[in-house]
Amino acid sequence: MSEPNDWLRPEIAALAPYQVADARGLIKLDAMENPHAFPEHLLDRWLESLRAVELNRYPAADAPELKAALRRVNGLGHDVGILLGNGSDEILQMLMLALAKPGACVLTPEPGFAMFRLISRATGLGYHPVPLGPDFQLDLNAMLAAIEVQQPALVLIAQPNNPTGNAFDTADLRAVVKAAPGLVVIDEAYYPFAEQHCLDWLGEYDNLLVMRTLSKLGLASLRLGWLMGPKRWLDALEPLRLPYNINGLTQASASFALSHYDDFMAQAAMIREQRARMADALAAMPGVEVFPSQANFLLVRFDGVDPADVHAALKEAGILVKNLSAAHPDLSGCLRLTVGTAAENASLISALRDILQG
């Protein structure tokens, strides 16, 4: 019998697959999806646009229409290059494969995005987490010291951060970009919900790349992420993109959606408004601490009650959220609540009141 572990790279053998909870029949507030359906008034025109997709042919290899649409909505100049990924996860994988020289490492603040660790392990890169400071802000001195010692090939920072939800101080981010000897990727997955972004820094630094995705904007099922930055970097990474990685249905659907970008940003605005209401309602509950968020979720800490019990009781009440209390020492007592529709959030708040009073 062939034993997988005799042949697998040891770092692969040590990996566990990314776990996705079964959400059937539950109000789904665990994965930062946009709770709103595709805009009703666009549905027929979107479906009509799919008629033109020839499923017997390979899709456009370079996705020129889609890239043009991304250039338009992001306001990109022609000196900025774009790399497309099947979700930003795939972009992270391409980046890390490209940089995984022997001894090379990724440096990133923690608590942070779980995929940063998983993909760096899978690609054989070293992984150096740097603990966040007070208020989940960057500990700038610790970051700069670690950069100095580790000389990371790649610094990864999600802005706003997942799972903490806050945005980092932009002066700190600039200091990190300046100090980093290699690439810095700022992951702006939550840009539709944030008050600031770093896209207009692109002309200023030759080692900065900004990554975005459609996943949090109501189009998670399409799996489309894109990386922006200096052309020479994007050209160097392009050979790692497998041919046709963006399928024809995604190219057509994303191009269509981006030509109606305002409708999706309007959904994001509703989510931001709901986030504020939800934060107020949660903050009014005794024993609940709500952390400031510029994303489409709220991190909350429970005092005097086991978050695993709250998580289980919410599930019993038909609501799925994410228990992060064991994910990182700084997250003990914490659940992450994705902002849903007004009705979903009302169900969550009322269920939580019952649970905490019970």
Ligand X SMILES: *Cc1c(COP(=O)(O)O)cnc(C)c1O
Contacting residue, 74, 93, 162, 255, with ligand X by CB under 6 A: 162
Dump strand ranges (E) for the chain: 27-28, 80-85, 105-110, 126-131, 154-158, 183-187, 208-213, 225-230, 288-290, 297-302, 319-320, 322-323, 334-338
Instruction: Give the gyration radius of the chain's Cα atoms.
Output: 21
Name the residue nearer to ligand X (CB basis): 32 or 183. Answer: 32
As measured in angstroms, the least distance from the Cβ of 97 to ligand X is 16
- Point out which span in 67-75, 87-95, 145-153, 270-278 binds ligand X (CB under 6 A): 87-95
Name the residue nearer to ligand X (CB basis): 281 or 295. Answer: 295
Peptide bond into 163 cis (omega under 30): yes
Q: Kindly state whether residue 245 participates in binding ligand X, applying the rule CB under 6 A.
A: no
Binding residue count for ligand X, defined by CB under 6 A: 13
Token pair for residue 152? 């990371």
Contacting residue, 32, 94, 118, 228, with ligand X by CB under 6 A: 32
**Bridge-partner residues for 212, per DSSP?**
226
As measured in angstroms, the least distance from the Cβ of 219 to ligand X is 10
Cβ proximity of 81 and 234 under 8 Å: yes
> Rounded to 5 degrees, what are φ and ψ at 16?
-110, 145
Token pair for residue 53? 């997709």
As measured in angstroms, the least distance from the Cβ of 281 to ligand X is 24
Q: Kindly state whether residue 120 participates in binding ligand X, applying the rule CB under 6 A.
A: no
Name the residue nearer to ligand X (CB basis): 162 or 274. Answer: 162
As measured in angstroms, the least distance from the Cβ of 344 to ligand X is 19
**Bridge-partner residues for 335, per DSSP?**
300, 323
Cβ proximity of 212 and 74 under 8 Å: yes
As measured in angstroms, the least distance from the Cβ of 96 to ligand X is 14
Contacting residue, 88, 245, 323, 345, with ligand X by CB under 6 A: 88
Give the distance, in angstroms, between the CA of residue 50 and the centroid of all CA atoms in the same chain.
27
- Look at the block and give the residue holding tokens 């002066």: 171
Which stretches of the chain bind ligand X, using CB under 6 A?
A: 32, 87-89, 113, 158, 162, 187, 189, 213, 215-216, 225
